[in-house]
Amino acid sequence: MTAGHAAATFILLMSASRTRRNLLFAGTVCVLAAVVAVAAIAVPIYAAVDAANKTKACEHEYTTVQGGLNAYMAINNLSTLPASASTSDMTTPVPLYEKIATATNPSYVPNSQTTWLYAWTGEGKITSISARPDGPTIPNGCVVYV
């Protein structure tokens, strides 16, 4: 191999190495662009689904508490019960939750504490839902049906 031939081979190898680096860089840029594009689509969808799920959770808890009040009044043959200004405690002023439920002393809601605060009238109608100081805010769309 001559010196000229060796120099040409070296230049060819260096050129191929540079081409590989350029292709690697271009490939990396394409992959990053794809990741950014997927994130740009996925993040807003996740946020919308998360907000909808929070609203559904609030509505579910609201209907559970209202159903518990209705069942408590019906089973105990009551037309009124102690009103609540704002509570998340389902054991007082109306005992909707019983830790050890029995046939004669049932539990009308599944938990002793709710995520949000509820106010109801003496006729057992929920009038408002509000956030607990240590809890999440009320999701948009979670409203009391009057």
Q: Which string of DSSP letters, residue by residue, matches 16-72?
A: HHHHHHHHHHHHHHHHHHHHHHHHHHHHHHHHHHHHHHHHHHHHHHHHHHHHHHHHH
For 79, other C-beta atoms within 10 Å of its C-beta total: 8
What would the pLDDT profile of 56-88 be if each residue is shown by its tens digit?
A: 999 999 999 999 999 999 999 999 999 999 999
Q: What is the pLDDT along the chain (146 residues), one digit of tens a residue?
A: 677 666 666 665 566 677 777 777 888 888 888 898 888 898 888 887 888 999 999 999 999 999 999 999 999 999 999 999 999 999 999 999 999 999 999 999 999 999 999 999 999 999 999 999 999 999 999 999 87
- This prediction has a pTM of 0.75
Whether residue 93 has a cis bond before it, omega within 30° of 0 = yes
pLDDT at 145: 82
- The pLDDT, as a whole number, for residue 44 is 85
- What is the model's pLDDT at position 68? 98
Q: What is the pLDDT of residue 135?
A: 92
Candidates 59, 63, 62, 65; CA nearest to 140 is 59
Q: Which pLDDT belongs to residue 7? A: 64
pLDDT at 115: 97
State residue 39's pLDDT score.
85
> Residue 26 has what pLDDT?
81
How far is 112 from 85, CA to CA, in rounded Å?
17
Enumerate the domain spans of the chain: 3-131
